[in-house]
Amino acid sequence: MTLRFLTSGESHGPALTVIVEGLPCGVPVDRAVIDGDLRRRQGGYGRGGRMKIETDTVEITAGVRHGVTLGSPVTLVIRNRDHANWEDVMSPDPQPPEAQERRALRFPRPGHADLAGALKYQTSDLRNVLERASARETTARVAAGGLARALLDAVGIAIRSHVLRIGRIGLDGDEVSWDGLGQVEESPVRCADQALSTAMTEEIDRAKKAGDSLGGSFEVVARGVPPGLGSFSQWDRRLDGRLAQALMSIHAVKAVAIGAGFAAGRLSGSAFHDEIVFDPARGVHRPTNRAGGLEGGVTNGEELRVQAVVKPIPTLMTPLRSVDLQTKEPAPASYERSDVCVVPAAGVVGEAMTALVLGDALLEKLGGDSLTELLGHLKQSRSAWHQILGTPRMGS
């Protein structure tokens, strides 16, 4: 892996930290842009109380000087402002038993990591499990993704996402164009269709009133992706597989499709595959993009499109049945301040994970210790692609 990152931090600990390694030197980094992504992750209709307590901002403690990367590992820190209310509960130092008891969660929530984590670590203290299992961790991913996006931006790759479905309300039919995604942030649910946005917020209101939660799906679109990223030469080098893993690793994501992948099993070959045509103005190109920009695990120069399905979040105000792990008596599952629907936020995390995978694949293909070197390699490759496709311009 050329571009890699590791996150650490508990949900109510002092901070989340992420180290991103492998970025070339000379990449412009703007903290305000990363903060903007962090804000988008915190937003979306259906988020809970915590989002109002915290406004995430990133600190850069290594690897960037005077607004550009140095080529050394970049360290990002995002403080948990809520930690002030949890200092003894989350203290790294030994504490009196009340500190452990005060925020104890005893009744595992179906769908969360509580029971699986209790079995894994052989503990009945669910706090130790959920603090790291919590999707608060995705904050660190969005920050890391901000660095990958800065790299992609420098080579002309841009990424957007949008919500396709929340509960029963879904955007079916034709794909939403890149330009159609330009206004998505104005929708409270990050949906490109205004009428559906309203229907989605009403669906969330209904779920909230019933003490329930909702899932849905989102799509990530990347534009300007050069062809030839990823490889079919080995299973773990395929970019479709790498993207699927990255998106599936997002909390609550249960299915991932490349392009029109969810419909692929229902269509015949002639209805599914994207024909290859030529005209002198555009060169060799594809009138459709059901493949989502990937064939054989390799980018083909079209827009990259990936969809993900998000399950309804597990913490329910009207709890499901559970069991007290100590007494084995039936008990309603624990409730802790929670969101109702996180699909709009999950899309923002999806953008970050896509950026990190694309950044890695880009550096693997074109390499370079500096951005200048990388851009030189890209220019060389472009002239070869133009020849093959018979067009003066492509890939951006």
Binding site for ligand FMN (CB under 6 A): 48, 111-113, 133-135, 138, 250-252, 311, 313-315, 338-339, 342, 345-346, 349
DSSP string, 318-375: SPPEEE-TTT--EEEPP--S--SB-HHHHHHHHHHHHHHHHHHHHHHHH--SBHHHHH
Looking at the Cβ atoms of 295 and 339, the one nearer to ligand FMN is 339
- Residue 74 vs 343, nearer CB to ligand FMN: 343
Radius of gyration of the chain (CA): 22
What tokens does 202 get? 């009403």
Helix axes of 114-121 and 126-133: crossing angle, nearest 10 degrees: 120
Residue 192 or 252: the one with the smaller Cβ distance to ligand FMN is 252
In angstroms, give the least distance from the CB of 44 to ligand FMN. Answer: 8
In the complex with ligand FMN, which residue's Cβ is closer, 43 or 368? Answer: 43
The distance of closest approach from Cβ of residue 48 to ligand FMN in the complex, given in angstroms and rounded to an integer, is 6
CB of 344 to ligand FMN, least distance (A): 9
Q: Are 127 and 18 in contact (CB under 8 A)?
A: no
CB closer to ligand FMN, 111 vs 368: 111
Pair of tokens at residue 153: 């931006």
Based on DSSP, count helices (H) and strands (E) in the chain, helices before strands. Answer: 12, 17
CA 83/CA 61 separation, integer angstroms: 20
Considering the complex, state which of residue 155 and residue 349 has its C-beta at the smaller distance from ligand FMN: 349
- What tokens were used for 38? 């962090």
Nearer to ligand FMN, 294 or 345 (CB): 345
Least distance in Å: CB of 38 to ligand FMN?
12
Q: How far is the CB of 337 from ligand FMN (least distance, A)?
A: 8
Q: Which residue intervals of 134-238 are DSSP H helices?
A: 138-154, 194-209
CB of residue 79 to ligand FMN, shortest distance in Å: 18
Q: In Å, what is the CA distance from 39 to each residue of 54, 101, 249?
A: 10, 33, 21
Smallest distance, ligand FMN to C-beta of residue 352, A: 11
Residue 260 vs 352, nearer CB to ligand FMN? 352
How far is residue 339's CA from residue 52's CA, in Å, rounded to a whole number? Answer: 11
- Of the pair 134, 381, the CB lying nearest ligand FMN is at 134
Shortest CA distance to 222 belongs to which of 154, 146, 158, 150?
Answer: 158
In this structure, which amino acid lies at residue 119? L
**Min dist. Cβ of residue 109 to ligand FMN (A):** 6
Neighbouring-strand partners of residue 74: 20
Q: How far is the CB of 71 from ligand FMN (least distance, A)?
A: 31
The answer to whether the CB of 393 falls within 8 A of the CB of 32 is no
The 3-state DSSP class for residue 262 equals helix
SS3 state of residue 210: coil
CA–CA gap between residue 58 and residue 76 (Å, rounded): 6
Question: What amino acid is encoded at 360 in this protein?
Answer: D
